[in-house]
Amino acid sequence: MLLHYWNKIKLAGDFEVFNRLSQLVICASSLGKLASKELENLLYPIRVTSERVKHLRGGMFGQFYSGGDMFALLEYMRIIFLQEVIASEIFNRALSRQRQELQFLYSSIGFLDVLVAISVFQEKTPYFSFPSFQVRTSTSEPLMEFVDLVHPLMDKPVGYSLKVVRSMLITGSNASGKSTFIKTVAVNAILAQSIAMVLARNYRTDFFKVLTSMSIRDNLEKGESYFVVEAKSMKRLVEESSQEILCLFAIDEIFQGTNSVERLAAAQELLHFFITRPVICLVATHDYELVKNLADRYDNYHFQERIEAGQIVFDYRIEPGYRFSFSALKILGNLGYPSEIIAGAEKNAQLFVQKNWEEYGEIVR
């Protein structure tokens, strides 16, 4: 009795696999019965292969986990005749003989499942297009060009239309759309190269390896601070940039987790380093120094806001050039921070600009 239940526990995982494979064969048999001219090239091999493994469809293995009035009697029969051990051996031998057929059915059904998912995705999107791939032959040609590019997870997205010729620094106030733009470009680059569709009305691109450094968080389990996690994330991009593969880097606020002096010094050298590699960087930043010092190497774009009835309103449209503002203090005010805090902060900000950043003060809107 103890030996039986020890074997039962040991074989439980095997029988779960057997039942899943049995369902796979049943699914393949059902697909083989479909009549579709468009899919016949896919369905015919599935139909033929499922016939070869149809003996694996049986419910022989489901009985070992059945219940009901006869359960106790069946359990004694399994103990006496070692049914579970014998059934496991039979099925394992069948798997060894027909491993290739089962692997083929697994991959074929998975491929059909992907096609169904893509078709449903296309049906539910407001619009999409098929990407046009081209390898740039001149530095003046755009590496990426799109019209009305949108993010697949946004309900009411604002489409982006842009030609990406070289790396970009993207400025703008908080919540204006910088990170969303970067994510939209990265996600659609992956969609273009994986399922050959994008959420845009027109889309031309080179081939990229897409990597990101965004939404950084500290890691309490590993005892890593925010800056350590961020530094490791950026190190990964440095290592990838050393390969002879064109990369697209989506980066949100480099080195936020340290002091401003070291952050700006390291970020500037890192971005200088990337332009010597086969890399296109899309970098969201609030740092005027980066924009000023890299103006000859990076294109500048920005998002802007306006004040209507005391509220901040964003149009989420990307525009050429750079822009900085003190909208963070406006957001604090809208969230209900005490007026004395907002007034004091605005005064401190103006004093800081006047005393330290005369150039910065000229471009503040």
Q: Residue 16: its pLDDT value, please?
A: 75
**Short-list 127, 129, 123, 56, CA closest to 94:** 56
Q: Mean pLDDT in each 10-residue stretch from start to end of the chain (365 residues)?
A: 62 74 89 87 91 74 50 65 71 82 92 93 93 85 94 92 95 89 97 96 95 90 90 95 92 88 92 94 90 92 84 89 78 88 87 60 39
Q: What is the 3-state secondary structure (H, E, C) of the chain?
A: CHHHHHHHHHHHHHHHHHHHHHHHHHHHHHHHCCCCCCCHHHHHHHHHHHHHCHHHHCCCCHHHHCCCCCHHHHHHHHHHHCHHHHHHHHHHHHHHHCHHHHHHHHHHHHHHHHHHHHHHHHHHCCCCECCEECCCCCCCCCCEEEEEECCCCCCCCCCEEEEECCCEEEECCCCCCHHHHHHHHHHHHHHHHHCCCECCCEEEECCCEEEEECCCCCECCCCECHHHHHHHHHHHHHHHHCCCCCEEEEEECCCCCCCHHHHHHHHHHHHHHHCCCCEEEEEECCCHHHHHHCCCCCEEEECCEEEECCEEEECCCCEECCCECCHHHHHHHHCCCCHHHHHHHHHHHHHHHHHHCHHHHHHEC
Q: Residue 90: its pLDDT value, please?
A: 75
Looking from the CA of 134 toward its CB, the CA atoms found within 13 Å total: 11
Q: Interhelix angle for 83-97 vs 71-81, to 10°?
A: 70
Q: Residue 198: its pLDDT value, please?
A: 97
Q: Hey, what are 340's tokens? A: 């004395």
Q: Residue 70: its pLDDT value, please?
A: 60
**Which listed CATH number (3.40.50.12780, 3.30.950.10, 3.40.50.300, 1.10.730.10) goes with 132-325?**
3.40.50.300
Q: Nearest 5°: phi and psi at 146? A: -145, 155
Q: Quick check: 185 and 250 in contact, CB under 8 A?
A: yes
Whole-model pTM?
Answer: 0.79
Looking from the CA of 78 toward its CB, the CA atoms found within 13 Å total: 22
Sheet order of strands, 299-302 included:
209-213, 247-252, 279-284, 168-171, 299-302, 319-320
Q: Residue 173: its pLDDT value, please?
A: 84
Q: Residue 94: its pLDDT value, please?
A: 76
Residue type, 278: P
Domains of the chain, residue spans? 2-124, 132-325
